Amino acid sequence: MYEGEGSSAINTKDYNALGKICERFDTIIEQTNLIIFDLNLEDEELYVSDNFLKLTGIEYNKKDILKQMLDLKYIHPGDVSKYKGYLRRGKQGLPSDTITYRRRIPRGRYAWIRSNRKNFYDDNGKLIRVLGTAQDVSTEMEAHIEAIVKTDLDALTNLPNFKKFTSDAELIIQKNRDKNYAVLVFDIDKFRIINDLFGAHEGDGVLRYIANILRNLIVRPNIFCRMYADTFAILMSYNKDSEFGYIASTFSEEALKYPLEHEIGLSFGVCKVDDPKTAVATYCDRASLAKKSVKGNVLHLLSFYDDTLRKRSIEDKDIENEMNYALEHGEFEMYLQPQVSIASTDVVGAEALVRWIHPTKGIISPERFIPLFENNGFIVKLDYLIWEKAFATIRSWIDEGYPVVPISVNVSRIHLYNSNLLERFIMLAEKYNVPRKYIELELTETAFFNNARELNYLVHSLKKEGFILAMDDFGSGYSSLNMLKDIPVDVIKIDRGFLNEIVATEKGKTVIRYTIAMAKKLNIDVVAEGVESFVQAEFLYHAGCETVQGYYYSKPLPVNKFEQYAFH
């Protein structure tokens, strides 16, 4: 109040005017559920409207209000980064700012909060006061999200969704019957592992990155969409098949540029449109089927749908329908292929292999079901079975007084992401009281090459526990010789394909000799696989390789026949 005559009183008219302003203020707050806050940073004065507690659950205590308003544990994990930026921007001279975010409120649920603020600064640019409002806009935001889901766009990537894609694609095909069209479907290899290792946030980032590749590389009139999860589809016109290969290789090169300590690989399937009346969704299913046929194949990115693939898919379905029954009823048996000393022809080891003894179909080749099981994850259960049989067999040899030889077991790439792998081998060794030197663990060269980060800790842990480690299919990859100095393997197994190609020429023979000599200098044993002739065995012996396995010596045998071959 001003000093002077009449300063001790406010006339009735002023009181009435002030009362009306307060009524309007209270009515706005009540009807809009609007929170008013005013923070004076110079004297630490804080004002919040009476409805603050109802929305936030924070008691009216200046210290608690400030602490809890700034505490990130109340912010939805997906909005923490955004909220930090909102707080940071207040110190950057912005006159006003707005944020919509999710905050945990009483009863543990999250509410969408929209906050608007006006910032006041002193002459030196220091923030001295924040005046603003906050409002629960959950109903509005939930309606907005629901509307997005119901529209034509995928909420995460902002690409057309599958429903929009199929609708547009069918119109394009119908209107352009003179053109050749195909549906190309692709997905991200091991995407679940990316989520597990790096978190869903990073997985979402990969999906958005792939979406941007689509926007940059696919031009009208071709169209694309996110079908679901990590699967995308393209409708494209074409003149020749090489165009599909170009798309696949270009996309794969771009995907590899994503900044992640894990290789982003893609697999593609193509189905050509041969009947405009067939639903586009059907072509997508067929392209997806083709895509599955290249999963796990490092040499091929792309596959085309054809009748052979259709028939094979029916057979695959039959196998998948029977696999669990077969496991439960003992149809999978362990066979052992002898590993032989070239000099003495004595059996010095064995590789455990699986055979499916079907009651009506006879022996089903592992080449027919192993790739399928690796794709659908059933290989984990099958490997567990063979590992246990290997330990049990060694235990029986010890009990029978046989001259025990090591058994090597295959460790599929899918196990590399199993945190209990080391514990499982330790458990089996203790269960059967088997010295660990009798178990050799085989990992493929491509597993070492593509999963170096994941393998490093695992390999050293297994070595520390006394297990023998082997690099299988040596020579089938790209950086074999360079990797040997970095990975603590005990054995390399020369791939049969590498052996067959190399020994055909003098230069190739030199490569084999050099590889064996280098391995020996690194104290790594060498086993040559796929030896099928005396000529191969003789060459390997003179090249310095002491141990071989292959049909020249013996095919894989049931355990009882292996024992007769090796010990009698």
Mean pLDDT per 10-residue interval, the chain, length 568 residues: 42 62 63 78 80 65 66 84 82 85 81 89 87 86 74 89 94 94 94 78 93 94 93 96 94 93 91 93 91 73 88 86 95 97 95 96 91 86 96 96 95 78 94 96 73 70 90 64 73 80 71 87 91 91 94 95 92
* Count of domains for the chain: 3
Q: What is the model's pLDDT at position 361?
A: 92
H/E stretch holding 176 reads: none
- Whether residue 275 is found in the same domain as residue 372: no
- Whether residue 25 is found in the same domain as residue 75: yes
Task: Supply the CATH number for residue 257's domain.
Answer: 3.30.70.270
Comparing CA positions, the residue from 306, 317, 319, 246 lying closest to residue 271 is 306
Q: What is the model's pLDDT at position 480?
A: 53
Coil, strand or helix at 353: strand
Residue 147 lies in a domain: no
How many Cβ atoms from other residues are within 10 Å of residue 513's Cβ?
17
Residue 526 lies in a domain: yes
Tokens describing residue 29: 């707050």
- Whether residue 248 is found in the same domain as residue 374: no
Query: Scanning the structure block, which residue is given the tokens 């307060």?
Result: 22
> What CA–CA distance (Å, rounded) separates 127 from 121?
4
Cα–chain center distance at 3:
75
Residue 45 lies in a domain: yes
Query: Scanning the structure block, which residue is given the tokens 């790739």?
Result: 371
- Whether residue 486 is found in the same domain as residue 516: yes
Q: What is the model's pLDDT at position 509?
A: 81
Residue 30 lies in a domain: yes
> What CA–CA distance (Å, rounded) separates 133 from 116?
5
Report the relative pairing of strands 266-272 and 347-358 from DSSP bridges.
unpaired
Task: Supply the CATH number for residue 445's domain.
Answer: 3.20.20.450
- Tell which of 273, 305, 337 closes a domain: 305
Query: Scanning the structure block, which residue is given the tokens 């990115």?
Result: 301
H/E stretch holding 33 reads: none
Report the relative pairing of strands 525-528 and 491-494 from DSSP bridges.
parallel
Tokens describing residue 291: 């895509």
Rg (CA), the chain: 34
- Whether residue 352 is found in the same domain as residue 483: yes
> What CA–CA distance (Å, rounded) separates 15 from 33?
26
| Counts for the chain of helices (H) and strands (E), in that order | 21, 20
Tokens describing residue 80: 């923490």
Q: What is the model's pLDDT at position 61?
A: 59
Q: What is the model's pLDDT at position 554?
A: 96
Coil, strand or helix at 557: strand
Residue 3 lies in a domain: no
- Whether residue 380 is found in the same domain as residue 525: yes
Report the relative pairing of strands 127-136 and 223-228 from DSSP bridges.
unpaired
Angle at the Cα of 165 from the Cα atoms of 159 and 171, rounded to 5 degrees? 140
User: What is the DSSP-derived secondary structure letter of residue 95?
Assistant: S
Q: What is the model's pLDDT at position 386?
A: 97
Active-site choice (351, 440, 442, 529): 529
Beta strands in 84-208 (DSSP E): 96-104, 110-121, 127-136, 181-188
> What CA–CA distance (Å, rounded) separates 429 from 212?
50
Q: What is the model's pLDDT at position 331?
A: 97
Tokens describing residue 294: 């290249």
- Whether residue 252 is found in the same domain as residue 352: no
- Whether residue 135 is found in the same domain as residue 161: no
- Tell which of 282, 305, 328 closes a domain: 305
> What CA–CA distance (Å, rounded) separates 76 from 160?
27
Q: What is the model's pLDDT at position 14?
A: 61
Instruction: Find out whether 524 and 489 touch, Cβ atoms under 8 Å.
Output: yes
Q: What is the dihedral of CA 84, 86, 92, 93, to 10 degrees?
A: -160
- Tell which of 287, 305, 323 closes a domain: 305
> What CA–CA distance (Å, rounded) separates 219 from 212?
12
Amino acid type, 293 = S
Task: Supply the CATH number for residue 127's domain.
Answer: 3.30.450.20
> What CA–CA distance (Å, rounded) separates 412 from 381?
11
- Whether residue 505 is found in the same domain as residue 357: yes
Residue 94 lies in a domain: yes
Coil, strand or helix at 411: coil
Tokens describing residue 129: 């006061």
Residue 7 lies in a domain: no
Instruction: Find out whether 447 and 414 touch, Cβ atoms under 8 Å.
Output: no
User: What is the DSSP-derived secondary structure letter of residue 161?
Assistant: B
- Whether residue 248 is found in the same domain as residue 358: no
> What CA–CA distance (Å, rounded) separates 498 from 474?
8
Residue 448 lies in a domain: yes
Comparing CA positions, the residue from 39, 56, 61 lying closest to residue 105 is 56
529 is an active site residue:
yes
- Whether residue 124 is found in the same domain as residue 76: yes
Judged by phi (left if over 0) then psi (alpha if -120 to 50, else beta), residue 370 lies in alpha
Q: Which domain holds residue 24?
A: 12-142
Residue by residue, DSSP assigns 243-265 as: HHHHHHHHHHHHHTTS-SSS---
Tokens describing residue 246: 């170009």
- Whether residue 113 is found in the same domain as residue 160: no
